[in-house]
């Protein structure tokens, strides 16, 4: 992990979690936030601080997208439409789990893979808080996070899976004033992504009924593979392989 990232244990923070994170990542535990990015463990949970910004994952922000009939208008939900009981999905590039949350709200049991330890720690904490929230609980309980490289995990995947979802790249860097806090801080962390071909090949090997790939509207097909069909939005599209 980037050696400039530090860990800070604030009031009410979970010492064992902070220490285990620091051990695994080789980050130093410091008294006060460092000059670069700091992973904060305090009474509010886990957050990422730096450059005058603080970011914490929060699935409450997603509620307006899944209530009052709005879920069915989500393009990803339309791409993954299924009534099959016990439907299962893999989100091989979990990030902060927002897309996986939409799939779980649609009824999928979702396994989320995230390889970046900082993003995985933020997501794990957001899921922990969501499971304590009366309204979010039912959806969050269908989301299981695995910290690790999905290419390796999908190659070992034996259980049948209906959908594999791939969203490997955060949008291209823009001027910081134009993007939200989450992206400003998380883009600083973004690790080298697995080769797109490896991700796609591992997804095919896992033999799902459908692979869904999120792409910027005008970009090339992932790993240059032509999809069976595409759902187009204003800025992004979903390429579906059946």
Ligand X SMILES: C[S@@+](CC[C@H](N)C(=O)[O-])C[C@H]1O[C@@H](n2cnc3c(N)ncnc32)[C@H](O)[C@@H]1O
Q: Give me the residues that bind ligand X (CB under 6 A), please.
A: 93, 95-99, 113-116, 119, 149-151, 167-170, 191, 193-194, 199
- Nearest approach, Cβ of 72 to ligand X (angstroms)? 18
> Using CA atoms, how far apart are residues 29 and 40, in angstroms rounded to an integer?
10
Q: Which is nearer to ligand X, 87 or 214 (CB)?
A: 214
Least distance from ligand X to the Cβ atom of residue 132, Å: 21
- Minimum CB distance to ligand X, residue 9 (Å): 24
Cα 187 from chain centroid?
A: 13
Q: How far is the CB of 116 from ligand X (least distance, A)?
A: 4
Tokens of 206: 């896992």
* Nearest to ligand X of 170, 221 (CB atom): 170
Q: Please state the closest distance from residue 77 (CB atom) to ligand X, in A.
A: 13
Which tokens hold the place of 42? Answer: 């305090």
Nearer to ligand X, 9 or 27 (CB): 27
Closer to ligand X by CB, 45 or 95: give it: 95
Cα-based distances in Å from 215 to 89, 149, 237, 239: 19, 20, 5, 7
Using Cβ positions, the residue closest to ligand X within the complex turns out to be: 95
Q: Give the nearer residue to ligand X in terms of CB position, either 40 or 118.
A: 118
**219 closest CA partner among 241, 202, 235, 199:** 235
The answer to whether 39 touches 27, Cβ cutoff 8 Å, is: yes
The CB-side HSE value for 186 (13 A sphere, CA atoms) comes to 23
């Amino acid at each position: 992990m980037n050696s400039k990232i530090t860990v800070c244990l604030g009031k009410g923070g979970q010492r064992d979690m902070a220490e285990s994170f620091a051990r695994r990542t080789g980050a130093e535990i410091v008294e006060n936030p460092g000059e670069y990015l700091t992973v904060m463990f305090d009474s509010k949970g886990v957050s990422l601080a730096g450059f005058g910004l603080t970011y914490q994952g929060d699935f409450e922000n997603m509620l307006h997208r899944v209530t009052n009939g709005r879920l069915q208008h989500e393009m990803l939900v339309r791409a993954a439409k299924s009534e099959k009981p016990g439907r299962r999905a893999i989100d091989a590039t979990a990030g902060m789990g927002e897309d996986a949350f939409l799939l779980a709200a649609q009824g999928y049991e979702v396994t989320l893979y995230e390889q970046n330890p900082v993003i995985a720690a933020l997501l794990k904490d957001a899921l922990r808080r969501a499971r304590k929230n009366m309204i979010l609980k039912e959806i969050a309980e269908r989301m299981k996070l695995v910290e690790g490289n999905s290419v390796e995990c999908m190659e070992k995947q034996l259980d049948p899976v209906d959908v594999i979802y791939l969203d490997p790249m955060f949008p291209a860097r823009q001027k910081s004033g134009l993007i939200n806090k989450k992206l400003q801080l998380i883009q600083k962390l973004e690790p080298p992504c697995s080769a797109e071909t490896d991700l796609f090949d591992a997804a095919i090997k896992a033999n799902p009924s459908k692979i869904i790939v999120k792409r910027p509207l005008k970009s090339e097909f992932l790993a240059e593979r032509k999809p069976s069909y595409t759902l187009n939005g204003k800025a992004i599209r979903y390429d579906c392989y059946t």
